[in-house]
Structure 1
Amino acid sequence: MSDYVLRTATEQDRDGLVRVRREAFGITGSPNPDDTVRTVLEPPRNHLVEHDGEVVGVVGAFTRDMAVPGAVIPVAHVTGVVVSPVHTRKGLLRRMITQQLHDSPEAVAALWASEGRIYQRFGYGLAAQNMTIRADRRDLSVRMPPAPGRLRSAVPSDVIKELSEVYSRVLPTRPGWSSRSDTWWRHLTSDPEHRREGGTAARAVLFENPEGVVEGYARFRIKPGWDDNGPKQEVNVIEVAATTTAAYAELYRFLLRIDLARTMVQGCSSVDEPLFHMVDEPRQLGGKVGDGLWVRIIDLPRALTARKYAAPVDVVLEVTDALLEANAGRWRLRVGAGGALVTCTPADGEADLTLDIADLAAAYLGGTRLGALHLAGRIKEHRPSAVAATSTAFGWPVTPNSIEIF
C-alpha cells in the first residue's frame, strides 16, 4: 500500500474532487464551470488517496448544523464517498473514513448511503427513513377548510430571504433537517437546465397570512407529459416548509390542484408526514418507505449530552466501537425529570444494555426505536425493563427525516 498516499485535500484539488465524483456517480458531459456545487465544496474537509499522482479515492464532508431532538448541533455532513473502480478492495475506503472520523471536530456524522451495507461496517446506523410520495392527485383532496390568506408565485432564487426565514423557524423542530448558509441557499435555488431532468424551471409558491407574513413555501417543478387520454403532467415537489398547519395545508391543496397534472411526486417526505392525516384518501398518496439518514457517533459523551430526551432515564450502556476506541466501554447516561441535567460519564458498574455504536447511532435522532433493535437481536438487555425505559427516553414526538440529499 506504500504507493497509495492518504492526505487532506487543498484548494488546488477542487477540479480533481469534481472529476472523481462525476466519474463515480455516472455523471455525463463536461463539467459546467458555473455549477454552484463548486461553491459549497470544502476541499480541506476532504480526505483523498492518490496513486501515481492521480486522485483515486475521496471521502468528503460539509460543515453544517443539523436539528436533533431538542437542539441544533454541528454535524459532519459526509458526502462524495468515492473509490475508483480499478482501485477497490484495497482498504482505501477504510483508511479514508477512519481518518475522517479521527479528524472531525463534530461529535456526530451523517450521510445518505448509496449502499447501506458499506457504511454499517464503519459504525453508521440507520437513523431516519424517508417516504417517497407518488400521489394520484385526481383522487385526492385536503379535508381541512381553506385558511384565510393568499398564495404568491415566485422564482425561488428571487425570494431566498423569505424562504430562509421560514426554513430557519421550522428547522429546530425537525430532527434531520440541515442548516443552510447564504451560499447553500444560492446553491439549492440555482436551477441550471442540466439539473431539471426534463422538467420545467423550478418554481416557488409562498403562503401569506392575512397580515402579509409568509408562513410557508413549496418549491416544485412540472414534468410535461401527454397520452391518448390527454395531459398527464407530473408535479415534482422539491420541498415544503411551513410554520403553521394552515400554511402546510394550503400549500398541499395548491400542489394537488395544479391543472393538467395527474401525479404529484415528492421524494424526501417523512414517514409520519402530516399530509397522510389531512387528505380524504391517504392510500392514493402511494407512499413508499426507504432509508434516509445514516448517523455515526464520533464522540459518545458529547453526542449524548447534546440532545434532549423524552423521559428520565438512568442506564449503564456497554458500547462496542471497532474504529474509535474512546467510545468503547461502559457509560452511565442520566437524564433528569423534564429532560434536564443530562450527563454521560464512564461507569464501573454492571451494564444494563450492551450494544454497538451503530445501534446507538441509529437511535440518536429519535426515529429508530431501541426496542426494535432489541427485537432484531442487536441489543442485549441485562436488567429487566432497561430496553423499555431507554427506548422511551431516546424517542421523540417528531419523526426525523431529511428534506435534501447532500
Structure 2
Amino acid sequence: MTASQFRLRCVAEQEFVPWARMIADTYGMDRSEEELADQRAATDLARTLAVFDEGEPVAGASVYSRMLTVPGGVLPVAGVASVGVAPTHRRRGILTSMMRAQLTDLYEQRREPIAALRPSEAGIYGRYGYGPATVGNRMRCDRRAMRFRPDTDFGEGIVRLKHAVQARPLLERIYDRVRTASVGWPDRQMAHWAVRLADCPHRRGTATSFRFAVHQERDGRATGYAIYRHSSAPDGLGGGAGVVEVAELAACSRQAYAALWRFLAGIDLVTWIDYEGAVDESLPYLLVDPRAVQGAPVDRLWLRPVDVDKALAGRSYSLPLDLVLDVRDDFCPWNGGRHRLQAEAGSAICEPTTAPADIRLTAAELGAAFLGGTTLTALAAAGLIEELRRGALSLASTAFRGEREPWYPGGWAFPLY
C-alpha cells in the first residue's frame, strides 16, 4: 500500500497516548506516564498529524509554535518534532505526504514563515528543503588541565546549588534574558520547561539526577546557571572515570560564564566534563592550555523557509543589500522564482520580481544560511549555489553573517526542550 491509501489527519484527544507511544517506539524509546503527561501539555493536537492503518496510528508529526531569535530580532517558527513512521510502514511515501501536508498548511494559513527541526538522521530532510543552520560543538574537557588564565575576570558573584523547585524560576528568568540576544535560541513556555527539566530515572542510565548551579551577584540577582549530572566513563584500565555531563549553561555576563566554568572545573572526583556548546565557545580562551578542551562539530538545528519573502524580510543583515535571488523549491513550488531582497539600517524588504537574478540557489541553501552560520560562499564552493553577477555572492554571504555563530541550546527535540 502507498501513502495515498492511508488516512492522514489530526490526532484526537483519545488517540494521543497510542500516537505518542508509537512515535517513541520508532526511536527505540519508552515513555513513562509522567513523560506522556508533559508531552501532552506541550502538544497542540490541531497541529499534530497522524497516519492511520485500520484505526491504528503508524506515523506522525507535530508542529509547535515558537519564537526563534534570528539576526536582528525574533521570528515565529514552526518547530517540527515527533516525526516518525512505524518500521512496518516505511518506504511507502508516508513521510513525504506528512511533510507536504504540514508545509502546505503553514503556507496557506499564513502561519510561521520558517520551519525548524532537529533531525535524528541528517540525510532525510534535505529533500524537503531543510538546511543545516546551526552547528553544535561537542566538547570534552580534561578537568585536571583546566587552569584559568590569571587575568580571568570572575566577577564578585557566587555559585550556589539549588533544588529543582528553587532553581526553576531563576532558570526561566536567566534563559529569557540570554535567548533574546542569542541567535538560534527559541522561547520556552511552561510546558516546554517541564519537558526540558524532566528527570525520569529510566532515562538517566547510570547517571545521577540533575544538579542546578546558579550564579548570583552580590545583590542577589541570578545571572547564570548550569544544569548537570554526574556519571562515569570507562578509563581504559578496567575502571571508571568520573564525568560531569553539562546539559545546559546560560550566562548573562562574561563574569558569570567564567565563574560557572570555574565551579564546574572545581568539582572533585571528576576526570572529564562533557558539554555541547557553540562552535565559537569562549571557554578555551579562558584557559592557560586551550587544548584542555577538545571539540567535535555536529549539525543541530535545520531550517527551511516556508514563505521566502516573509522569512528574508524578517531578519536584519550586516551590510546594505539589493540583490535578486533565483530560488528553486520543488517541494514548496510557491517559493520558486526570483525574489528581490533589499536591506539597510536594520530593516529589509523581500518581494517577487522579474529583474535578472544575481544568485541562484534552492530553499535548502537559504535555510542553511538563514541564521548567519553556514556561509553562502561555502555552499557555493560545494557547487550548491551559482553566482550570476560578479561580486554578488561575496556581498550576500557577508551580509547574512552575524557577530557570533548561531547555535541551539536544546536537547533531543527542538520544540520541546
Instruction: Sort the TM-score into its range (normalised by shorter chain).
Output: over 0.9
- Cα distance between partner residues in 2 of 1:366 and 1:12: 42
Change in CA separation of 1:353 and 1:34 when aligned onto 2, cut-off 3 Å: same
> Which position in structure 1 is the counterpart of 2:41?
39
1:58-79 CA deviation, whole Å, 9 max, x = no partner? 1212222111111112111111
Which is worse superposed, 193-202 or 372-381? 193-202
Which is worse superposed, 288-297 or 221-230? 221-230
- Cα distance between partner residues in 1 of 2:234 and 2:297: 28
> How far does residue 112 in structure 1 lie from its aligned partner after superposition?
0.8
Kindly indicate whether the alpha-carbon contact (under 8 Å) linking 2:138 and 2:297 is maintained by their aligned counterparts in 1.
yes
- Within 5 Å, give how 1:295-374 maps onto structure 2: 295-336=303-344, 338-340=345-347, 342-374=348-380
The size of the alignment, in residue pairs, is 401
CA RMSD of aligned residues (A): 1.6
- Cα distance between partner residues in 1 of 2:400 and 2:304: 16
- Within 5 Å, give how 1:4-403 maps onto structure 2: 4-28=6-30, 31-35=31-35, 36-104=38-106, 105-143=111-149, 144-224=152-232, 232-267=241-276, 269-336=277-344, 338-340=345-347, 342-403=348-409
> How far does residue 136 in structure 1 lie from its aligned partner after superposition?
1.0
> How far does residue 256 in structure 1 lie from its aligned partner after superposition?
1.2
- Cα distance between partner residues in 2 of 1:93 and 1:231: 42
Kindly indicate whether the alpha-carbon contact (under 8 Å) linking 2:23 and 2:59 is maintained by their aligned counterparts in 1.
no
Gaps of 5+ in 2: none
Q: Secondary structure at the match of 2:147?
A: coil
Read off the aligned partner of 2:141 and give its amino acid letter: A
Q: Secondary structure at the match of 2:34?
A: coil
Read off the aligned partner of 2:313 and give its amino acid letter: T
- Cα distance between partner residues in 2 of 1:380 and 1:225: 47
- Cα distance between partner residues in 1 of 2:193 and 2:165: 8
Read off the aligned partner of 1:212 and give its amino acid letter: G
- Cα distance between partner residues in 2 of 1:50 and 1:109: 25
Kindly indicate whether the alpha-carbon contact (under 8 Å) linking 1:231 and 1:260 is maintained by their aligned counterparts in 2.
no
Kindly indicate whether the alpha-carbon contact (under 8 Å) linking 2:47 and 2:62 is maintained by their aligned counterparts in 1.
yes
- Cα distance between partner residues in 2 of 1:226 and 1:197: 15
- Cα distance between partner residues in 1 of 2:192 and 2:34: 15
- Cα distance between partner residues in 1 of 2:233 and 2:127: 43
Q: Secondary structure at the match of 2:124?
A: helix
Kindly indicate whether the alpha-carbon contact (under 8 Å) linking 1:219 and 1:240 is maintained by their aligned counterparts in 2.
yes
Read off the aligned partner of 2:381 and give its amino acid letter: L
Change in CA separation of 1:111 and 1:151 when aligned onto 2, cut-off 3 Å: same
Q: TM-score, normalised by structure 1?
A: 0.95
Q: TM-score, normalised by structure 2?
A: 0.93
Kindly indicate whether the alpha-carbon contact (under 8 Å) linking 1:359 and 1:378 is maintained by their aligned counterparts in 2.
yes
Which is worse superposed, 295-304 or 189-198? 189-198
1:330-360 CA deviation, whole Å, 9 max, x = no partner? 0000002x323x1101111110000001001
1:10-65 CA deviation, whole Å, 9 max, x = no partner? 2222112211112101114xx42122233223322211111111111112122221
